[in-house]
Amino acid sequence: MHSLSQKRFIKDMLISGAIGLAYFTLSHAGTLSLKLVNSLFLAGIFPLLYGGFLAAKNLGMFHLFIYSHRKLWKYGKRQEKEEAENEEIAPGTTETLGTYSQYLAETKTSGIAEPLLAGGIWLSLSLLLTFLYF
């Protein structure tokens, strides 16, 4: 991993660890082992869900939805009025949305390995403690 992905991995581990720690301190579960296993599970499930949504986004599952809603917003009455006023002030500065194929060419993908790895580590610890305690 290069430095940027290490920072993101550490950030994902710390955020999810804070979620697990919050559950551990605020939970009223019966035993300490049950609280520990549940807090590790919660610490792992959130980055896994986030990584899954990023993977779906990178595969293009949400592109048409996002593009269509941007197109609808762009051609609303209020937006047209604001663009007309902006064109009077500074001609040629209004952004155009373009076609769907242009939109796809401009979309950026984001890394999914870091949240999936962070979630996998927390869930592995939860699973290991589940087998040890129960």
- Write out pLDDT tens, residues 10-41: 999 999 999 999 999 999 878 999 999 999 99
Q: What is the dihedral of CA 29, 23, 57, 75, to 10 degrees?
A: 110
Q: Cα–Cα distance between 77 and 75 in angstroms, integer?
A: 7
Whether pTM > 0.75 for this model: the answer is no
The number of distinct structural domains making up the chain is: 1
> What is the pLDDT at residue 24?
95
Give the CA count within 13 Å in the CB-facing half-sphere of 64: 1
- Domain of residue 56, residue span: 3-133
Confidence class of residue 94 from pLDDT cuts 50, 70 and 90?
A: low
